[in-house]
Homo-oligomer: A and B are copies of this chain.
Amino acid sequence: MPAVVVVHGGAWSVPDKLAKAVVDGVKMAALDGFSVLERGGSALDAVEAAVRNLEDNVTFNAGHGAVLNADGDVELDAIIMDGRALGSGAVSSVKNIPNPVSLARAVMEKTPHLLLTSRGANLFAESIGMATVPTDTLVTANEREEWEEHRSYVAGVTEDFNSKCAHDTVGAVAVDSAGNVACATSTGGIRNKMVGRVGDAAIIGCGGYADNSSGAVSCTGHGESILKVTLARLILSHMEQGSGDTLHGCILFLTNKQFHLHAFFFPVPSQGNPQRSLHSWLCSTWASVCAAQEESSWCLHQDSGQLNLLQ
C-alpha cells in the first residue's frame, strides 16, 4: 500500500495576491504530514501533523488566522478520526486553543467521549495542561479589518462564494503503509457566524469520516449544506457500494434534493491506488504527497480549476 497524505486549504476562491502563500502552505503541510508517514508514523499522526501545520499558518482559517464571529470572538471547531476502529475526537466552539486538532485527538484518547463543546472543551484542555493563547494572538490584522467592514453573516457568505474570501477550513486525509486511514478537519467557521454556531468541521460524518473498510474524507465548504447531507459519510457510502462514478453519484444525489450545496470533499480510499481515486470538486487549493511504488517518490499537485480527477 503506497502511503499518501492529501491536505486542503478550504473551499473558497483564493485571490491572486494570496495564491502563493496558500499553495506554499498546503504543500508544506502535505510534506509535513508525509514526513510522518515516511518515519513510520500512522495515518492518524500524519493528518494531525498536517493540520497542525495549517493551523499554525495565518493564511488559513483554522487556529491562527481564524475568522471572527458576530461578537468579534474566535470559536474553533475540529475533528480527527482513526479508521482502524472508528475512534474519533472532536471539539466545537472552543476558544484560545492554537491547535484544536490536537485537543480533538486528546478527547479521543483521554476521555470516554467523542465530542466536547465550548467551556467544557476548554476545561478539558486546562485539565491536561494544554497551552492556551490570547484571542488576539489567533486573529490577523487583515481579519479584524475584514470583520469591521463586513458585519453581515448572510452577505459575508455570499461574498465568500464570489472570490472575496482568502481562506477557509483546512483538512487532511491519509493512508499509511499499513493501509490504515485517518482524517482531520479544523476551522474557525464562517465570519460573523452566531455565537455558538457549530458547522460541519466538528461533526462526525459531516466534516470528516474515516473507516479502514472504505476510506477517509475531509470536507470543506458551507457547513450547513454539508451537515444537511452528512457529506463525509455519504461519500464513503458511495465508495463502499463500489461505484466507479462515486463523485457523480454524490452530485446527482445533492441535486435531487433541490438545495444548494457548496462543498469540497477529499476522499482517499483504503484500497487501490489513492491517486487514481482522488477527486476534487470545484477545487480550491490542495496538495498531496504520495509514495507510489517506491517510498522515496513523491509528487505535488495544486489546482484551482473545476472538476478534476487525477489519473
Which A residues lie at the B interface, using CB under 8 A? 75, 85-88, 92-93, 111-121, 123-124, 153-154, 157, 193-199, 203-206, 209, 213, 223-224, 227-230, 233-234, 237, 256-259
Contact = CB atoms under 8 A, between A and B. Distances in A.
A120 B77 CA distance: 14
Nearest to A93: B117
Contacts of A120: 75, 93, 118, 194-197
In the A-B complex, the 6 residue pairs with the smallest Cβ-Cβ separation, listed nearest first, are: A120-B196, A118-B118, A205-B230, A120-B195, A86-B228, A115-B198
Given A112-B153, A112-B224, A117-B118, A196 B85 contact: no
A116 B198 contact: yes
Contact of A115 (B88, B124, B227): B227
B113 A93 contact: no
Contact of A121 (B86, B196, B209): B196
Given A113-B194, A116-B194, A123-B196, 20 more contacts: A85-B257, A85-B259, A111-B194, A113-B197, A113-B198, A114-B223, A115-B203, A115-B227, A117-B117, A117-B197, A119-B195, A120-B197, A123-B195, A124-B196, A204-B230, A205-B206, A205-B230, A205-B233, A230-B230, A230-B233
Contacts of A154: 112
Contacts of A258: 85
Nearest to A75: B120
Given A203-B204, A206-B205, A227-B115, A86 B196 contact: no
6 contacts: A75-B120, A86-B229, A93-B117, A114-B228, A204-B228, A209-B230
Contacts of A153: 112
Contact of A88 (B75, B198, B228, B256): B228
Contact of A124 (B75, B86, B113, B194): B194
Contacts of A227: 88, 114-115, 204
A299 to B, nearest CB: 33
A200 B256 CA distance: 27
Nearest to A238: B237
A77 B113 CA distance: 15
B92 A198 contact: yes
B119 A119 contact: yes
A224 B92 CA distance: 16
A224 B114 contact: yes
Contacts of A204: 203, 206, 227-228, 230
* Interface-central residue, A194, A209, A256, by most chain B CB under 10 Å: A194
A103 to B, nearest CB: 12
